[in-house]
Structures are given as C-alpha cells and as structure tokens.
Amino acid sequence: MDTVQAITTFPDVVLVDPRQAFARPPFPSQEPFSMPGSTANMQPQPDHGEDSYCGAGKLKGLNALVTGADSGIGRAIALSYAREGANVVINYLSEDGDAEVTKTLVEAAGSRAVVIGGDLREESFCTELIGQAVEQLGSLDILVNNAAFQVTEDSIEDFSTETFDRIFKTNIYAPFWLSRAAMGHLPAGGSIINTVSIQGYSPSPYLLPYATTKSALIGMTKALAKLAMERGVRVNAVAPGPVWTPLIPGSMPQEKFENFGADTLFERPAQPAELAPLYVWLASPAASYVTAEVFGCTGGKTPV
C-alpha cells in the first residue's frame, strides 16, 4: 500500500512560560473612560491575535455575526474567524473607531466585513440585525452573543433599577432576541456561541447584576441547545475568567483593576487572543458532537 507523507511548511512551535507570555499586573493608572470603553485608551494594549493568530481554513465559506466585536474578546473572535476564512458581521454599540479597526483586520485577512452599529437593548434592532446580516452576507451560519455590560458597586443599595435593567437587557434579553431571530436562518450544522463568565459560577459581590446575568445565560445556553438540536444547530458557551479588555478599566476603579488577574494561577489576566481558538473550534465541524457545553478559560480559578 502506498503511503502519503504530509508535507508542511509550518515553523517549529516555540514554547513559552504561560505565566510570562503576556502583560502582568500591576497595571498603570489610566484616564477614566466611560463604557463601552476604547481600546486606544488602554495601557497596555490588549492582544487580539493581530501578530499571532494563523488560520487554516477551519471556517472557510461560512458567515458569522459577532456582537461586541469592536474590541476585546469580540475583536479577537472576528479576527480569528476571518483568518479561518469566514465573513463577519461586526456589531457594536458606539465605538466607531474600534469597529473600523476590527473591520480593517477582517478585510486584511481576505474576508468580507460588514459593520453594523446599534443598541442591543432594543428588540427591534436585534431582529433587524439578524435580517441585515443575512441580507448582506447571503446567509448566516454562526451567531456569537458576546456583547456585555457591567457596573461595579460596593453595596446592593448602590445598584439602581436602571442599571440592573440595562445589564439584563444587554446580557440576557439581547442574546434571547438574537438567537430567536437567528434560528430561522441557521442551517443544520450551524452554531450559536454565548460568552458567559466565571462570574456565573463564582460571583463577585461588586458585580452582582452582571454575575446574575451570566448565571442566567448559562441556563439559557443549555436549554436552548435542546430546542436548537431539533434543527441540527449546536449551542455552546465560553466562560472566561479575567480578560484584559476595555470592559475592565471602563467599569472598574483603579484600585480594582490595578491587580486585575493576579489571583489566577498565571498571576495575570488572559488576553483576548487566548480565548479566540475556543470560539473557532466550537463554530467548526470539528466540534460536531458538542452542544449544551460550557468551556472555561479561567486561568485555573475554577472548574467550569
């Protein structure tokens, strides 16, 4: 029998100590900025995989919608999807400059980028967003519910009803509205991927509303997976631990984010680029037997 020898041109893998691979706290004092926050204002700049993520065609020909894709984890997902061959709809709230940077990265990878701004707290916009994604790209294969909002307070009395409502509308209602609208378009083999959090399992009191929504989104992921599989659609979630994104200095006082991530086994937070491969795998046919699962990327803080 003839044998076929694989020929590769990949460079040797260089192993590094993961504790030293990326920026470590303490982080420098930074000018306060309002949510959703700007990547350009962060010190140090997050790593989204711009110089490190190499695609291999895992999502070639597929079309994806990623919410909160202007920065942070969302930008890293959009970039990795593009380098794997997918076209990407980049949804964001109001950071036009950040969204344009993500668009440039997606297009530089040779994929199509569609930028659609809007407030996910509006049911009508969520429905419209799915419709626009299908219209612009011709179909929709992957929905990533990644956008989130958080506020930190020191006591329950400090959390207003308005704040609680905004966090729930962004973190729970929007994924529900988007998933409901997307189900009529996703093909068998398609995917919905939700960004949950370690906060859904190990909640911090100063993030009470945010942690509550992430617990709820874990439940939604598992329940929706059972309904979606009736159409051959898989639904999973990624649960990050501390990740260096604009959400952190944009929502936390200096004394809280100065040592952000120092309590992990790595003694540092994750960079967005370190989470992207999970989202790629979950969206790809390689994860064909995976649904209703939550995959942790917490720096060893807790089993998820």
Q: Which residues are catalytic?
A: 210
266: its two tokens? 């790595």
Residue 77, classed as helix, strand or coil, is: helix
- Total count of residues recorded for the chain: 304
Q: Got the DSSP string for 86-114?
A: -EEEEEESS-HHHHHHHHHHHHHTT--EE
The phi, psi pair for 157, rounded to 5°, reads -65, -25
Give CA–CA dist 155/33, Å, rounded: 22
In what order do the strands lie in the sheet containing 234-240? 113-117, 87-92, 63-66, 142-145, 191-195, 234-240, 294-297
Cβ–Cβ < 8 Å for 75, 95:
no
- Nearest alpha carbon to residue 22 among 1, 41, 6, 44: 44
